[in-house]
Chains A and B, each alone.
Chain A
């Protein structure tokens, strides 16, 4: 076993660690290798009904009419739910931490805002009957203009995506974006030897878990609903579902914690509420599980982002100022994107001590699939942009990219742009170690640098 390197943070580390380097079996592995791990779908309660969703075939439209007559005539169809069946149809998942407004219907009322927006839920005796009925639901649309680009969505005259939000951006304490103001970037640009400005862009990224999003809701004799779910967020789901159902929290019980791949994505409340309503109305167990197509088409991806970074740089590589304009494409509804955008803002300007920072981070509504959480959301794409920016600056200055980073690396005691004092920083040491491991030579003054020493 490799011994711990105690050069850094002397006296601040425990040295009785035993886990790293020792063999520890996963608690759940025996179940996995014998096939006995119970995933939510490994349950066949008697009388199980199947729920399938009729979804918008338009990006943005008024619903002129929904004709269920042919669908209801399909043999095996038990019930078709519409928005009128959902006690509190409008929600937003982060209302639990005070985020407003409620901006997303469980089932569409009079408008659909993205391709795949749920409209009606068919509950049937078999999956086949449910699919057949979904295919026979006739929705009449009046198309509305749609917008698919974050900057176009913010431009004058853009179609309004979400009237509950009132404009195509999420409002942060009265402001149109999450802002960061630290020092004076304009003064930095005026003083700089070089100004570098580049644009970065990412596409939405689907988590693609092998187990698709889903749940089975089983009504209990005591009147409670037992929800078997593959959510990564059991209590978050329970609380949001209770609010949507208008029931006390103790009327619901979640059985979960076994997730067939989540990657930070199974945290939206997209299957449980409607399945619970179906189970309450039929008093039978109901399964609602996404098809692979739904998982790809409508389960919320990591947001697409567009990031402009403009840097004021001196000949020696010091970055005096950094100006960032960042757009997060939330899609049609807020979900977790307001939080992700705040994370992006707090992450700026990256792990560097830059004395002047200005950032506008916009959470933008478009008629695309709602984006939401994925591991590291708000930070991952920002890092792609920030570190690409560092490499490009190094190239432009014909400078070693590691030295450029070491020169600008944050250290303990530095004030970060969002007014937190940096503690426990280790970028310098990580770069020094990495350089040594790959035989990348650093001059003595760079090898002597330390996160613990002020500059």
Chain B
């Protein structure tokens, strides 16, 4: 079968590329668009390292056939920092809170946190735990990841008050 042209809104900018039938969003990001932040940990929806935001909601991009999301808005970790490189609250909190170890799960964790905090500026610890429950940190750094997400929520609320 022939490839189709897929158009997306990617990190706020238009993107257009060819995809073979059945190509995953993850493969499109990595192999066609050169966006490497989302990782292939299992390619079967089991680890969360490929998590990106699809119209604001976290999805396992390895399970999304890219031809089914024509016209959608996709956000990856590359689109989280400001254009001048300034980190956002979640990135800063992960950086300061020692919430990365090997770094392979980090992109997925941050994208889940972005989605959570966009909808819930003051999550409880349990809500954070539930939000990251589809994301594996095999280094088992969950405690610092959870603390960083709660810290990011505080940082964002403080900015909003100012």
Q: Does A31 contact B (CB under 8 A)?
A: yes
Contact B81 A28 (CB under 8 A): no
Q: Taking A33-B94, A210-B104 as contacts, is the C-beta distance between A292 and B36 under 8 angstroms?
A: no
Q: Taking A28-B103, A34-B91, A35-B36 as contacts, is the C-beta distance between A261 and B44 under 8 angstroms?
A: no
Tell me the residues in window 35-91 of chain B with beta carbons closer than 8 Å to chain A beta carbons.
35-44, 46-47, 49, 76-78, 80-81, 87, 91
Contact B107 A210 (CB under 8 A): no
Query: Interface on chain A toward B: helix, strand, loop, or mixed SS?
Result: loop
- Chain A residues positioned under 8 Å from B137 (CB to CB): 210
Contact of A34 among B39, B42, B44, B87 (CB under 8 A): B87
Contact B43 A292 (CB under 8 A): yes
Q: Does B110 contact A (CB under 8 A)?
A: yes
Q: Does B136 contact A (CB under 8 A)?
A: yes
Contact A26 B46 (CB under 8 A): no
Tell me the residues in window 93-119 of chain B with beta carbons closer than 8 Å to chain A beta carbons.
94-96, 98, 100, 102-107, 110
Contact A41 B40 (CB under 8 A): yes
- Chain A residues positioned under 8 Å from B110 (CB to CB): 33
Interface size class of A (residues with CB under 8 A): 20 to 34
CA distance A259 to B91 in the complex (A): 21
Contact of B46 among A29, A35, A292 (CB under 8 A): A292
- Chain B residues positioned under 8 Å from A208 (CB to CB): 138
Contact A37 B41 (CB under 8 A): no
Cβ-closest chain B residue relative to A34: B81
- Chain B residues positioned under 8 Å from A263 (CB to CB): 138
Q: How many A-B residue pairs have CB under 8 A?
A: 97
Q: Taking A25-B95, A34-B81, A292-B44 as contacts, is the C-beta distance between A260 and B102 under 8 angstroms?
A: yes
Contact A261 B39 (CB under 8 A): no
Instruction: Mark contacts of A9-33 with chain B using CB atoms, 8 A cut-off: 1 yes-contact digit, 0 otherwise.
Output: 0000000000000010110111111
Tell me the residues in window 14-49 of chain B with beta carbons closer than 8 Å to chain A beta carbons.
30-31, 34-44, 46-47, 49
Q: Does A172 contact B (CB under 8 A)?
A: no
Contact A35 B37 (CB under 8 A): yes
Tell me the residues in window 280-339 of chain A with beta carbons closer than 8 Å to chain B beta carbons.
291-292
Interface size class of B (residues with CB under 8 A): 35 or more
CB of B141, distance to nearest CB on chain A (Å): 11
CA distance A37 to B139 in the complex (A): 17
CB of A136, distance to nearest CB on chain B (Å): 20
- Chain B residues positioned under 8 Å from A44 (CB to CB): 30-31, 34
Q: Taking A35-B107, A292-B41 as contacts, is the C-beta distance between A29 and B138 under 8 angstroms?
A: no
Contact A32 B41 (CB under 8 A): no
Cβ-closest chain A residue relative to B136: A210
CB of B155, distance to nearest CB on chain A (Å): 14
Contact A211 B104 (CB under 8 A): yes
CB of A194, distance to nearest CB on chain B (Å): 40
CA distance A260 to B38 in the complex (A): 13
Instruction: Mark contacts of B118-145 with chain A using CB atoms, 8 A cut-off: 1 yes-contact digit, 0 otherwise.
Output: 0000000000000000001111000000
CB of A44, distance to nearest CB on chain B (Å): 6
CA distance A447 to B62 in the complex (A): 58
Cβ-closest chain B residue relative to A25: B95
Cβ-closest chain A residue relative to B93: A33
Cβ-closest chain B residue relative to A24: B98
- Chain B residues positioned under 8 Å from A259 (CB to CB): 102
- Chain A residues positioned under 8 Å from B95 (CB to CB): 25, 29-30, 33
- Chain A residues positioned under 8 Å from B39 (CB to CB): 39, 41, 210-211, 260
Contact of B87 among A33, A38, A212 (CB under 8 A): A33
- Chain B residues positioned under 8 Å from A42 (CB to CB): 30, 36
Q: Does A204 contact B (CB under 8 A)?
A: no
Q: Does A264 contact B (CB under 8 A)?
A: no
CA distance A30 to B110 in the complex (A): 13
- Chain A residues positioned under 8 Å from B49 (CB to CB): 210-211
CB of A353, distance to nearest CB on chain B (Å): 35
Q: Taking A35-B37, A209-B138, A261-B139 as contacts, is the C-beta distance between A29 and B100 under 8 angstroms?
A: yes
Contact A39 B107 (CB under 8 A): no
CA distance A26 to B96 in the complex (A): 9
Contact A210 B77 (CB under 8 A): no
- Chain A residues positioned under 8 Å from B136 (CB to CB): 210
- Chain B residues positioned under 8 Å from A211 (CB to CB): 39, 41, 49, 102, 104
Contact B104 A39 (CB under 8 A): yes
- Chain B residues positioned under 8 Å from A37 (CB to CB): 103
Instruction: Mark contacts of A177-217 with chain B using CB atoms, 8 A cut-off: 1 yes-contact digit, 0 otherwise.
Output: 00000000000000000000000000000001111100000
CA distance A23 to B38 in the complex (A): 28
Instruction: Mark contacts of A244-274 with chain B using CB atoms, 8 A cut-off: 1 yes-contact digit, 0 otherwise.
Output: 0000000000000011111100000000000
What are 30 A-B interface contacts by the 8 Å CB criterion? A23-B96, A25-B95, A25-B96, A26-B100, A30-B95, A32-B106, A34-B81, A34-B91, A35-B36, A35-B38, A35-B106, A35-B107, A36-B37, A39-B36, A39-B39, A41-B40, A42-B36, A44-B34, A210-B42, A210-B49, A210-B137, A210-B138, A211-B49, A258-B103, A260-B39, A260-B103, A260-B104, A292-B41, A292-B43, A292-B46
Given A34-B77, A211-B39; 14 other pairs, CB 8 A cutoff: A26-B100, A29-B98, A31-B103, A33-B94, A33-B110, A34-B78, A35-B107, A37-B103, A39-B39, A41-B39, A211-B41, A211-B102, A260-B103, A292-B44
6 A-B pairs closest in CB distance: A35-B37, A260-B104, A32-B103, A35-B77, A42-B36, A292-B42
